[in-house]
């Protein structure tokens, strides 16, 4: 269990590594700010909220959305970015530079580092190395992806105006999906939530994490067949099987795309009011024919909310209130 500084009402200069740092009122103050950010993003006038700030985006693992979303968020607020995709291929890391040195160097250039890394725990390690500036975890291996969960929570909240008494379905790779791990931690802060977890046997939630979450009061129900999806879900959260976490292609193929959302499945097992979410990228687990359904938000509001939530978080972390 990682021991990280709780936000506890004060985001300023804190590292954002795990959803476990947040309490209810932290989430609500972030959400309140998201509304302001939505207005700023929709306004033609430039904002200077992050003027003079430089944010480094260090992505040791492929990303288009998260990196683009952070980049856009900084720029929407008048700040600047140094974006390094795959530094292990394109930077001094190729010459043998250590992780510590890379982080130290970028710490010296910038006001914050956003990091993605294939290894669990690496964002926290970066935070320890870069002691003078905040570090934001943009995905650490199969660990967590807090900003994705914040935008997912916001998306559910925006639709329902509540995050308690929620019935939801999370499907796909529950074992390896870091966005799922962070989302479950977020949902477990609220009362009376019931989450169905639809996954093949080998991709179920880690037993220890399941027990830890259940202690908070969240109800988790594991299912293995689409026939067991309850009709009263407020959201469906579909995920891809995390190919890069498998030892071989054949191991991956054994479990890939067991559950695919098409129009028929959505209409048969989903109700009229749910929202269908996905952190993206999707690789076949939601059919394109579903995109035009008004319940599908993964290419529309969920993505936009990603930028607004990151704008809000950056403002809270980088500016004293
Ligand atoms: C997710 C990730 O990287 O964990 N993508 C994202 O950031 N939106 C989900 C995934 O890769 O499946």
Specify the pairing of strand 80-85 against strand 235-238. unpaired
CA of 279 to the centre of ligand 1 (A): 6
* Catalytic residue check, 145: yes
Binning pLDDT at 50, 70 and 90, where does residue 276 land? very high
* pLDDT tens string 224-275: 999 999 999 999 999 999 999 999 999 999 999 899 999 999 999 999 999 9
Pocket test for ligand 1, best of 57, 59, 66 (most atoms within 8 A of CB): 66
pLDDT score at 236: 98
Contact of 74 with 50, CB cutoff 8 Å: yes
* Catalytic residue check, 33: no
* pLDDT tens string 68-85: 999 999 999 999 999 998
Compare 96 and 223 and report the one with higher pLDDT: 223
Q: Which long-range contacts (CB under 8 A, 24 or more apart) does 99-107 make?
A: 99/125, 99/126, 99/129, 100/129, 102/58, 103/58, 103/129, 103/130, 104/129, 104/130, 106/56, 106/58, 106/82, 106/130, 107/131, 107/132, 107/133
Give the pTM. 0.96
Asked whether 280 lines ligand 1 (CB < 6 A), one says yes
Asked whether 240 lines ligand 1 (CB < 6 A), one says yes
pLDDT score at 62: 80
Has residue 1 got a pLDDT over 60?
Answer: no
């Amino acid at each position: 269990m990682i021991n990280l500084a709780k936000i506890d009402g004060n985001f300023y200069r804190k590292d954002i590594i795990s959803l476990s740092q947040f309490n209810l009122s932290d989430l609500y103050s972030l959400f309140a700010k998201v509304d302001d950010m939505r207005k700023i993003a929709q306004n033609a006038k430039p904002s200077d909220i992050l003027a003079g700030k430089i944010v480094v985006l260090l992505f040791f693992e492929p990303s288009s959305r998260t990196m683009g979303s952070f980049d856009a968020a900084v720029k929407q607020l008048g700040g600047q970015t140094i974006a390094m995709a795959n530094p292990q291929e394109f930077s001094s890391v190729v010459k043998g530079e250590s992780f510590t040195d890379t982080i130290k160097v970028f710490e010296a250039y910038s006001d914050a580092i956003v990091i993605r890394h294939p290894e669990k725990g690496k964002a926290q390690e970066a935070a320890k190395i870069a002691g003078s500036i905040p570090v934001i975890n943009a995905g650490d291996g199969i660990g967590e992806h807090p900003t994705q969960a914040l935008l997912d929570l916001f998306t559910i909240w925006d639709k329902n105006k509540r995050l308690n008494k929620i019935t939801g379905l999370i499907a796909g790779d529950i074992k390896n999906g870091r966005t799922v791990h962070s989302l479950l931690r977020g949902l477990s802060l609220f009362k009376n939530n019931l989450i169905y977890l639809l996954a093949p046997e080998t991709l179920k939630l880690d037993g220890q994490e399941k027990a830890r979450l259940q202690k908070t009061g969240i109800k988790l129900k594991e299912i293995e067949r689409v026939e067991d999806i309850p009709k009263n879900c407020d959201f469906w959260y579909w995920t891809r099987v995390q190919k890069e976490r498998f030892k071989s292609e054949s191991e991956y193929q054994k479990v890939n795309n067991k559950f695919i959302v098409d129009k028929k499945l959505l209409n048969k097992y989903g109700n009229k009011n749910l929202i269908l979410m996905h952190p993206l990228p999707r690789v076949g687990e939601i059919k394109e024919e579903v995109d035009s359904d008004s319940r599908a938000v993964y290419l529309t509001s969920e993505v936009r909310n990603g930028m607004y939530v990151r704008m809000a978080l950056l403002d809270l972390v980088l500016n004293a209130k």
